Amino acid sequence: MDLSLNEDQLAVEGAIEKLAEQFGSSPVDFHGFALVSDDLDRELEEGGYFDIATIPEMGALSAAVSVERLARLPYTAEVALSMLVRPHLDMELPRPFGVIEQGRPGRFVATAKTLIIIDDDKVGIAHPTADQVEAIPDSLFAYPMGRLTESLEVKYLPDDVASTVKTWMRVALAAEMAGLMQAALDSIVEHVSVRKQFGRPLGVFQALRHRLAECAVLTGGVRWLALKAAWSGDAGDAALAALHAQDSATRLVYDMHQLSGAMGMTLEMDLHLWTYRMKALMSELGGRGGQAQVVAAACFE
């Protein structure tokens, strides 16, 4: 297994980094939960970044690296599903994408042109009209959440295609979670470096350093498992990456908010933009229990 990026992949990584710099800071007057950027979505669409997984020289590994980097931004857009799931569906599907799992509200559903419908073991595709979905403006999940207002005409996929869709949804989840975890960790490292207690920065206290180091190890593990799953496309690798991501996020969210003190519970600090998005991702695809069952089936006989 070689996860070293080739020249083309490095070029895409550099371009994504340059693009991300334009959206690296939240507006000074923003005090809400979901910070959505249509400009970011448009830049990615016009640059052809949603199709990089289909280019042999770049592939899903390059797409996963891009998803991870873009997830670190305070702004959000429908990126992960379009970059990592859409290219593996042998059909032309308009974006943005959204997911309805077991009938529950989902991310980007209110503006989605294509919905992935998950009903137990069945996976289907639907194209909602504006009157069939509605936004949930009071959601705390830091994503633009939406729900169905009426039943849809769903085209269910064959079992092998449904399995492929779920595999790449797990890769997308792990890659996005890795970026969110890194952004939350970076935010707290900055906070404890400038916040003082007893006349000294909080970051000099060894107990805090130990906890931050443990969170850094978890974050790095999630990222490498996500990249491995994107490289291999294996169902077991994908489930293991998603399981580790959801499990690690439960620890990291707790530690990040505790280490931020009262600031982490305010809208003045961007921490909630990443931790509340992690909260939304923790329950997707059956949560940790669902991933563990797939790991058991795919990795152990």
User: Which CATH number belongs to the domain containing residue 182 in this structure?
Assistant: 1.20.140.10
Quote the number of domains for the chain. 1
For residue 238, the one-letter residue type is A
Please say whether the beta carbons of 244 and 225 come within 8 A: yes
- Give the H or E element holding residue 206: helix 206-232
pLDDT in tens, 208-262: 788 889 999 999 999 999 999 999 999 999 999 999 999 999 999 998 888 887 7
Q: How far apart are CA 50 and CA 16, in angstroms?
A: 12
Q: By percentage, how much of the chain surpasses pLDDT 70?
A: 95
Quick one: average pLDDT of 126-154? 94
Specify the DSSP class assigned to residue 164: H
256: nearest Cα among 269, 242, 243, 241: 269
- pLDDT confidence of 150, banded at 50, 70, 90? very high
Q: Is residue 249 part of a domain?
A: yes
Specify the DSSP class assigned to residue 265: G
Q: Is residue 291 part of a domain?
A: yes
With H, G, I as helix, E, B as strand and everything else as coil, classify residue 233.
coil
pLDDT in tens, 21-55: 999 998 888 888 899 999 999 999 999 999 999 99
Please say whether the beta carbons of 226 and 245 come within 8 A: yes
- pLDDT confidence of 99, banded at 50, 70, 90? very high
Q: Give the helix, strand, coil percentages of the chain, each rounded to 5.
A: 60, 10, 30
CA 196 to chain centre: 32
> Which has the higher per-residue pLDDT, 137 or 266?
137
With H, G, I as helix, E, B as strand and everything else as coil, classify residue 123.
strand
Q: Is residue 132 part of a domain?
A: no
What is residue 300's predicted lDDT score, i.e. its pLDDT? Answer: 85
Q: Is residue 208 part of a domain?
A: yes
The residue segments making up the domain with residue 255 are: 160-299
Q: Are strands 155-156 and 122-126 parallel, antiparallel or unpaired?
A: antiparallel
Is 104's pLDDT higher than 90? Answer: yes
Put residue 137 in one of left, alpha, beta given phi > 0 → left and psi -120 to 50 → alpha.
Answer: alpha
Token digits of residue 90: 């042998």
Q: Is residue 29 part of a domain?
A: no
Q: Is residue 65 part of a domain?
A: no
Q: How far apart are CA 20 and CA 18, in angstroms?
A: 5
Burial category of 28 from C-beta neighbours within 10 Å (exposed 0-12, middle 13-18, buried 19 and up): exposed
Burial category of 301 from C-beta neighbours within 10 Å (exposed 0-12, middle 13-18, buried 19 and up): exposed
Q: Is residue 235 part of a domain?
A: yes
> Which has the higher per-residue pLDDT, 207 or 149?
149
Q: Is residue 246 part of a domain?
A: yes
